[in-house]
């Protein structure tokens, strides 16, 4: 690894400094040599002190964290011990997440620069004139009068059948459809999502059946698995299976 050389650079935080060192040394972020990075990190902190740059607690905290990772990696591993996860795993995840935000920052800065140069005109107050000024011909007035007269002639109230599509629909409860689905599965009649849904005669019944499926899945009573194209197999979950979960 090449010897690190410092310029008077200002980093936004310890993760920014670590990403700089990783990029400078062309290191695989998933296989960071902690000892080398720690040495360069501490050297950089010393340079910051010499240049009277602000050294916040975040930088010192990261140094302690890197020392902790290094010590964990130096501990001997015994064959009879269970394999532990890589102590660098959490640091890698933090670096990757920070890198994502850092990559989109220039885009937001560009939006800010473009936006602050944009000026919007204030909305003008509109004065409404309540006086109706349009002129109509005699034929237009007669046609309007005829339409009003036609509507007023309908004095007979509408029949009950005319309201059936609005308020005459049968109410289907979700609980009834839960019982219906469980009975089907217990009798092993149907285990196809499409077959059970297509037994619905109305939209209300289909919606109630679908909601019943969701309630049963939420209650861990049934499980759903893929069954061919655009279909799913429904099966009951036994009590023993629920206890294992």
What is the C-alpha separation between 40 and 43, in angstroms, rounded? 5
User: Residue 137: its pLDDT value, please?
Assistant: 86
Q: How far apart are CA 245 and CA 242, in angstroms?
A: 5
What pLDDT does 1 receive? 45
Query: 33: burial class by Cβ within 10 Å (0-12, 13-18, 19+)?
Result: middle
Alpha-carbon distance of 243 to 245, in angstroms, equals 5
DSSP class of 235: E
DSSP reduced 3-state for 1: coil
Structure tokens at 115: 């936006």
- The three-point CA angle 10-11-14 to 5° equals 145
Q: Give residue 5's pLDDT band: very low, low, confident or very high (50, 70, 90).
A: very low
pTM: 0.40
Q: Output the average pLDDT for the chain.
A: 79
Q: Which of 11-25, 56-70, 111-125, 146-160 has the lowest mean pLDDT?
A: 146-160
- Residue 191 contacts residue 159 (beta carbons within 8 Å): no
The pLDDT tens digits of the residues spanning 132-163 come to 788 888 888 888 888 887 777 665 566 666 66
Q: Could you give the domains of the chain?
A: 14-75+86-112 (no CATH), 171-244 (1.10.10.10)
Does residue 173 come out as left (phi exceeding 0), alpha (psi in the -120 to 50 range) or beta?
beta
- Give the span between the Cα atoms of 71 and 38, in whole angstroms: 12
Q: What angle do CA 28, 60, 15 make, to 5 degrees?
A: 35
């Amino acid at each position: 690894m090449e010897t690190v050389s410092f310029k008077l650079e200002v980093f936004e935080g310890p993760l920014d400094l670590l990403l700089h060192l990783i990029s400078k040394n062309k290191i695989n972020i998933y296989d960071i040599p902690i000892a080398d990075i720690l040495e360069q990190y501490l050297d950089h902190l010393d340079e910051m002190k010499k240049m009277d740059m602000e050294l916040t607690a975040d930088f010192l905290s990261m140094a302690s964290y890197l020392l902790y990772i290094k010590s964990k990696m130096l501990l001997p591993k015994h064959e009879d011990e269970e394999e532990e996860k890589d102590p660098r795993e959490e640091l890698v995840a933090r670096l990757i997440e920070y890198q994502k935000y850092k990559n989109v920052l220039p885009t937001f800065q560009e939006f800010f620069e473009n936006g602050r140069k944009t000026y919007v005109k204030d909305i003008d107050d509109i004065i409404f004139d309540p006086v109706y000024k349009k002129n109509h011909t005699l034929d237009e007035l007669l046609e309007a009068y005829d339409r009003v007269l036609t509507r007023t002639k309908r004095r007979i109230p509408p029949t009950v059948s005319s309201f059936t599509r609005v308020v005459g629909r049968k109410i289907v409860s979700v609980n009834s459809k839960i019982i219906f689905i469980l009975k089907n599965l217990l009798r092993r009649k149907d285990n196809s999502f499409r077959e059970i849904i297509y037994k619905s005669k109305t939209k209300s019944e289909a919606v109630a059946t679908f909601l019943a499926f969701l309630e049963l899945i939420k209650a861990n009573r049934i499980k759903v698995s893929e069954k061919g194209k655009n279909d799913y197999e429904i099966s009951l979950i036994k009590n023993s299976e629920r206890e294992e979960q």
